[in-house]
Structure 1
Amino acid sequence: MHRPTLWAAAALVVLLLLLGLLSLLVGSGSTPMGRAWDFLTGDPSARADAQIRLAVMDVRLPRTLAGALVGVALGAAGCLLQAVTRNPLAETGLLGVNSGAALGVVIGLTYFEVTSAYGVLVWALVGGMAASAVVLLLAASGRAAGSPLRLVLAGSALGATFHGMTSYVLLGEQATFDTYRYWTIGSLAGIKTSETYPLIPLIAVGLLIAFCCVRPLSALALGDDSARSLGHHPGRIRLIVAAAVTLLAGSAVALAGPIAFLGLLAPYAARAVTGPRMAGQLVLSALVAANVMIAADLLARVVIRPWETPVSVLLAFIGGPLLIWIARSQRMSTAGVGA
């Protein structure tokens, strides 16, 4: 990575650590920031206070970890998807992950009587993975196997189908709708550490595949013919990258619900620093999204205290105007998504 990218990455890591610390100190409840700081610095009286321990270790720490993981996963997935489709407005719901996760949650709640938050997470993950697998199978068949257009069309068609199926099931199930409505808002509130840890290996595998695809994606950005002349197979690259996006986006959606705009905007911000360098884009996209996710979650806790605003709502308020600005920007038409 070139020097500006390294400096930006270092600054984002420092900012992420500071936001993580602030996330442990600030909450929507009545625990004072000073007492939370005393707990973190080892003050005996604060360590002995069960309420402070509950607030810091059982409420704020899990959601801070989850926010960082969700941000990294969505940022990296958005960067990969924009690179593989050569579309700077592509986002992580393109492969049907969001709609598949929603249908999985509704099926689990309605037909398998899922009652726990962990059960909802599992069904969301299974649904997202299954939907993306079907999209990949559809995109891999036919003469234009693995083409960006085929991938987008398959994802859009399956997403619409799953959305219709979800709506049909919800029409007759009021209890299911109430639980589903809470999940689909998109929030980090109430996440437990036990729900976060099982998804870390999936996100790690997705990131490993992503970094292994940096060179092929850089070749693909030059065009399919150029990529073939360099010894790469465009269709195969797109399917492998789509599998990585599935792991990353599926884990994020299962953990926090559908989070809009983050996977779209983070890569755009990263490209402003890195230019067309794919490795730099991937690193900075993940770091930018993690910072934005934790910052938005912090704001969600305090904007209407003592209640919380869903983090997805805040991101929509921020992301909507930014997306309009990006779409109207003359730079969008020339924004490179790989090198």
Structure 2
Amino acid sequence: MGPGVKQSRSASTEQHIKDIQKRPLVATIIMIAGLALLVLSMGISISLGAADIDLQTVWNALLHFNPDLTQHQIIQELRMPRALGAGLVGAFLAVSGAIMQGMTRNPLASPSIMGVTDGAAFAIAIAFAFFPHTSSLQLMLFSFAGAGLGACLVFGIGSVSRGGLTPVKLALAGAAVGAFLSAISSAIAIRFDVAQDISFWFAGGLAGTRWLSIQLIVPVALIGLALAIILSRSITVLSLGDDVAKGLGQRTRLVKVLGTVVVLLLTGAAVSVAGTVGFIGLIIPHITRFLVGVDYRWIIPCSAILGGLLLVLADIGARMVNPPFETPVGAITTMIGVPFFLYLARREGRGL
């Protein structure tokens, strides 16, 4: 390696370290404004549906619930868990994508592209086919295991390819593994006559979210998001590269193992509630880095808020496209995410 290349990499690393210190004020504004918009959008989400309910009624149902009023029952039992589920699932997927991109230094990494969500959906298909009386908690455990299977297959295939891991090769391996697992899931659904049961998870949606689902994923949210924030500084250092991280005393293997556990927890929980909702984990981390810089102590909480906001808005859009019928929310996020993915793939492909 010539001195010019070393100097170039050194200058790039120094610039990266300087960027880490940037824009804490912007991040604070995004978190405050993002939370306000998230609460407002959740209120709008609760008010919209087959029976439109004004925001004043929503507010009254929250503060002064009257079980004798049908509108209050609709808000409490159907729409509130749906809105909360959208916010949590969006946050889970966005944080998972941010961690994956930081750990692998791969701008194309996300749960949907790296085979994690398809692996979780595959495990859910197996649960419906072979264990028809699976509880919600057991379904979530199946989802965790499937997410791990998908991730292992993608990274295993990417590692044995000639030239080692590159962003585009990982994306291609993820697409291949995802298509393979999705095809097997469809075959299982047809063979064991459970296609109608698992079609929800393939399409992605939040219509079936109930309080039981929220109660199950809240502990995962507390554990997974807390671990993500604890690891945020280490992921920032890791994003500088393994050599730099080790030189700074980073225990890179431990950080990667813990980061992978967080991704599997959050993605598995998200898929168990909303199915295969794609591209939030790809889009949001890029937007967040553009706004707040490359310090993951800001990227992770901001990604959580913006990811929740995006999915709540996408869920609102899914109900407005063809009322009174619902469009799968996964279709809405895919329409947004595919052009973004093609742009990133084209940009990264120039470096091969």
Q: Counterparts of 1:75-90 in structure 2 under 5 Å?
A: 75-90=94-109
Please, which moves more after superposition, 189-198 or 121-130? 121-130
Other structure's SS at 2:337 match: helix
Other structure's SS at 1:188 match: coil
- Tell me what 1:40 maps to: 61
Cα-to-partner distance string for 1:59-97 (whole Å, 9 max, x where unaligned):
110101101110111111110011111111111135543
Q: Counterparts of 1:75-154 in structure 2 under 5 Å?
A: 75-93=94-112, 96-114=115-133, 118=136, 121-122=139-140, 124-131=142-149
- Tell me what 2:73 maps to: 54
- Tell me what 1:259 maps to: 277
- Tell me what 2:191 maps to: 172
AA in 2 matched with 1:104: A
Identity of aligned residues (%): 28
Task: Give unmatched runs, 5+ long, in structure 2.
Answer: 1-22
Q: Does residue 223 in structure 1 map to residue 225 in structure 2?
A: no
Counterpart CA distance in 2 for 1:326 and 1:134 is 23
Root-mean-square deviation (CA, aligned residues, Å) is 3.3
Residues 133, 265 of structure 1: alpha-carbon distance in 2 compared, 3 angstrom cutoff? closer
Cα-to-partner distance string for 1:258-309 (whole Å, 9 max, x where unaligned):
0111110000110111111111111111111100111111122222221111
TM-score where L is the length of structure 2: 0.80
Equivalent pairs counted in the alignment come to 324
Residues 81, 126 of structure 1: alpha-carbon distance in 2 compared, 3 angstrom cutoff? closer
AA in 1 matched with 2:78: V
Residues 187, 15 of structure 1: alpha-carbon distance in 2 compared, 3 angstrom cutoff? same
Q: CA deviation at 1:154?
A: 8.4
Residues 283, 54 of structure 1: alpha-carbon distance in 2 compared, 3 angstrom cutoff? same
- Tell me what 1:337 maps to: none
Cα contact 2:321–2:327 (8 A) shared by 1: yes
Q: Does residue 66 in structure 1 map to residue 88 in structure 2?
A: no
Counterpart CA distance in 2 for 1:281 and 1:59 is 32
Q: Does residue 297 in structure 1 map to residue 315 in structure 2?
A: yes
- Tell me what 2:10 maps to: none
Q: Does residue 211 in structure 1 map to residue 229 in structure 2?
A: yes
Cα contact 1:82–1:89 (8 A) shared by 2: yes
Q: Does residue 25 in structure 1 map to residue 47 in structure 2?
A: yes
- Tell me what 2:32 maps to: 10
TM-score where L is the length of structure 1: 0.83
Counterpart CA distance in 1 for 2:147 and 2:286 is 26
AA in 2 matched with 1:261: F
Q: Counterparts of 1:254-333 in structure 2 under 5 Å?
A: 254-327=272-345
